Each structure stands twice: as C-alpha cells, then as structure tokens.
Amino acid sequence: MEPTKICLTLSGKTIAENLAVLDRYRPYIDIAELRVDFLESDERLHIREFPRLAGVPCILTIRRQIDGGKFLEGEAARTILFGKALAFQQEDKDAKFEYVDFEEDFHIPSLQDAVHAFGIRIIRSVHDMRNPIHSLRERLDNLKSNEYEIPKIAFMPHSLKDVQRMFETAKVLKDSNHILVAMGPLGVPTRILAPRLKNFLTYTSPAETVENMPELFHLDPLTLKNTYHFSDINDSTELYGITGWPLNATSSPELHNEAYVKKGMNKVYIPFRSENFFDALSFASSLGIKGFSITIPHKETAANTADVVDEKVSAIGASNTFVNRDGRWFAYNTDASGFARSLLEFTGLKNLNHKKVSIIGAGGASRAIAYAVHSLGGKACIFNRTLSKAKELASMYDFEYAILDSSSASLLKKYNDIIIQTTSKGMGSKEASNPDNDPVYFYDFKGKEVLFDIIYHPTVTPVMRRAAECGCRVINGYDMLRYQGYEQFELFTGESMTN
C-alpha cells in the first residue's frame, strides 16, 4: 500500500503569499492544495500558472461556502474558473494540476471529460461541516464512479464515537485510494493516524494560516513531523495517548514521542479528546491503544471504571494512567509521586515533617497531592470553592478544610510554609494577578512561603508572579508533569525514559 501523503493546504490571499509559505514547508510535504476560494479575485486569473511555480504535485480546490469554503459567486462562475484553471493542460506533469477536488454533486460532463483526457485525478468529496456522516463504506463506494477517482468524506463528529466509526470502517478497506477525515478537535486522531485509516493523504495547514480555517483543526506539517513522526507510523506502530476535555494544551505528546524516537521504539502518542470518558475508553479499546494518560475532568471517573486499580488509585480516588494488559484496563496514579519528587527536589527537603501546607483546590490533581503531602508527613489545610469537596478530601487525612475566599485568609496564613495551587484558575492567563486568574488573590504573601503552582501553561502564572515579586520561592508544574510522565512511560513500555 502507498504511504499516506502529506498535503499542505494553502489558503493565502495571493499566489505569491502561498508560494512563500510553500517554500518554508517544502521539505515536509508531498502535495500542495491551492484553495482558490481564499484568493483575491485578481489573483484567480493566474491559477493556471500555479503548479509550475509550486514545483510539487498540486490539488485544485474551489470550495463553496456550504462545504466550508469561501466561494460565494455561484456554480456558473465556479465552473468557468475550473475550466480556466484546467484548460489546455500540458503533458508536462510539473506544469499542471495533478488532482482536482469536485464535490459529490458537481458533475459537469465537459469538465470531467477534459480532466480525464489530461490525466488529472478527481478527489470526489463530500463534506458535512456540522454533523457526522453515517454508512461510510456505502458512501465511499457510491462516491467513486471509476478507479481514477479518490473518494473523500469529511465530517464534523459530535463525539469520539463518530471518529471510532471511521477507524472501524477503514479496517475493512483494502486499498489506500480514499480520504476519511473527521474535522474539529475531536478529529485530530484522523489527521495523525491517517496511515491507519489507509488514507491517500492527510491535510495540514501552515502554522501561519491555520487560523483561516479554525473549524478544521489542521495540524501544521512540522508538528506532524517533529511531534508525531508521521512518516514512521505504520501498521505495526503501537498506539498510546492522552484523553481529557477540552485538552487545549498538553505537553505530554512531545515528552513521550521524543523518548520513543530516542529509544528506537515504533510507538506514537496522540491526543484523543473526549467529553465523555467512556467514549475515550471505547475508542482506546477499539484502536488497540496500549496505554493512555488521563487529565481534566476524567481522573475520578477513570478510577471508578478500570478493571484493576492499584493501591494508590484506590487511596487517592483518581487515576491519570491506564494500561491495557490482555484486554483489561489497569489504573495507576503517577501524579502523587511526580509531585512529591518535584517538591522535594525544589525545596531540598527529605519530607514534610513539621511543615504546615495549604492545598488550594480539591479536584482530581488535588487528591493525588493531598495523598503525597500526607505520605510525606505534612499537616495541611485544603481550600476549595466547593466546600463539600474540600471537607471530603480533608477527612481522608485528618486535614483541616475551608472555603476558598477572603474569609479564609487568616487560616491560609497559619498554613503558609508551602502553598500548593492545584485549581485550574490561572491556566492560560498572561494577565497580571486579579480575582479571575489568581485563586488566592485575597492573600498577601510574606516572602518566606514556597509557592508550588501545578499549572505549567503559562510557565509563570499570575499568582506565581505576584508571589515571586514578594520574595517567595516559586515553582510551576512542569517538573511534576515530567516526573509523572517518566513513571507513565515505564508503565507503558517497561523501560526507563531517562536511561
């Protein structure tokens, strides 16, 4: 079977802009798709020249608005434009479009005859920008009217189940003469694992213009190459990943994939977002994913769903690591040890005996941190927006608890040797500290506290900056992430990540 090609979708306003971008990505791609619908009208006069200037195989696409494009001038104008772009195509492969994208309902016999005569292949596409498409196998068969056509189905999934269906359909397909794409954030696995779908190509966008079509959620070719080592993915590649929702920012794919490559392992680690943990588990089982990381908001559901839980998971009540062994899911928690290692390394302490610790937040990560603080001998008070959750967690370790607002400032002062921030407040915020991004905005740092914020995006959160300005020693969650990742890597592969 032919390896899946990488296609760069060009959505610049001018031919020159597209060519400049193409030059930057040339070493990483096989095909360029010219999205004529994004070009300014004057530029459309010159599209016939594009393949010769591009110097790579090109796809001609003029997408209508209904299919997610920008072409508004109607079908007659579109037909004329196709005609102008394809007329008198030369024998010379480098000077003509090799592919043209015609939608399922676009049948202009004269154009099709010309396309066949010039040896141009048709990508016969169907798009649903809002809903999933069902009966994929039948739709593919119906789309393809002859062997020169490449049927393409692109839809917007509503859940990971729709994406799973796509992979299950692909298992029975015999060749790579089709393109199956799920769009949006849920569809990212279809872009990275396009070889598993036996796709003819996978679409990417330059990082510079990815925002022109945000609904597609294209990756850029460099991410596909550097983070996911796309060209090494084959039928024997073992799959790993991370699930969560919305899973906007995660450094785990870089961490794991880099180690797989260093160690010469044929494995890839991908994000598979899901609002529902059971859909993620079903997706992982169906694709044969061997192990995966779990993040917000699924850690607690995961602990209650596994076939086998280790003792830390039952003590903590949250799992961030699932490993498949002979069809059974084993749950682990590596957050607690990752956190403890990072904290002890940063403070130089051996344990937390005689230390008074504040834990801000009582979510999934906080459960692991409370367990670690208790195991290290610390005395803590848990502060949370929802008091009942703080109370429930505190009762497990005989800790104090309080509501997370200004009425608790004096209690926070009593537990201020180490302040551990575990809420998601401040995540992604670049602004100065304010009540919306700083969970302890009501507390005045003295300068002697250690502040550990387990967030790592941004590297300095608003509360970290405020504490550091008062003279506190501050650390973010990146080392915790690395250390919990190292342990996950060992659980996934049986090997150490760092040796």
Q: Least CB distance from residue 467 to ligand NAP, whole Å?
A: 17
- Do 28 and 230 touch, CB atoms closer than 8 A? no
Q: Cα-flanking dihedrals φ and ψ of residue 136, to 5°?
A: -60, -40
| Six-digit token string for 7 | 């296609």
Q: How far is the CB of 491 from ligand NAP (least distance, A)?
A: 15
State in angstroms the smallest separation of the CB of 426 from ligand NAP. Answer: 8
Output 118 or 442, the one with its CB closest to ligand NAP: 442
Sheet holding 356-360, edge to edge: 400-403, 379-384, 356-360, 418-421, 450-453, 473-475
Nearest to 60 by CA among 29, 41, 77, 39: 39
Contacts of 340 (CB under 8 A, 6+ apart): 372, 375, 376
Residue 157: how many other CB atoms lie within 10 Å: 21
Nearer to ligand NAP, 143 or 467 (CB): 467
Dist CA 351 CA 370 (whole Å): 14
Residues that bind ligand NAP (CB under 6 A): 296-297, 299, 335, 338, 361-366, 384-386, 389, 404, 422-425, 427, 439, 454-456, 477, 480-481, 484
The nearer residue to ligand NAP, 150 or 427, going by C-beta atoms, is 427
Q: Min. distance of Cβ 389 from ligand NAP in angstroms?
A: 5
φ and ψ at 383, to 5 degrees?
-110, 130
User: Which of 299, 312, 355, 379 is flagged as catalytic?
Assistant: 299
Nearer CB in complex with ligand NAP: 129/396: 396
Give, in order, the Cα–Cα distances in Å from 66 to each of 72, 154, 389, 433.
9, 13, 47, 44
Which CB atom, from 89 or from 461, has the smaller least distance to ligand NAP? Answer: 461
Minimum CB–partner distance for residue 485 and ligand NAP (Å): 8
Rounded CA Rg of the chain = 27
Specify whether 448 is catalytic.
no
Contact assessment for residue 179 and residue 151, using Cβ atoms and an 8 Å cutoff: yes
Do residues 124 and 104 touch, judged by C-beta distance below 8 A?
Answer: yes
What single-letter DSSP state applies at residue 447? S
Task: Return the number of the residue (291 or 361) whose C-beta is nearest ligand NAP.
Answer: 361
Minimum distance between the CB of residue 342 and ligand NAP, rounded to whole angstroms?
A: 8
Shortest-Cβ-distance residue relative to ligand NAP = 363
Q: How far apart are the C-alpha atoms of 466 and 445, rounded to whole Å? A: 8
CB closer to ligand NAP out of 120 and 419: 419
Q: How far is the CB of 227 from ligand NAP (least distance, A)?
A: 19
CA distance 378 to 299: 24
Contact 232, 266 (CB under 8 A): yes
* Six token digits for residue 116: 């066949």
Task: Indicate which residues carry an active-site annotation.
Answer: 299
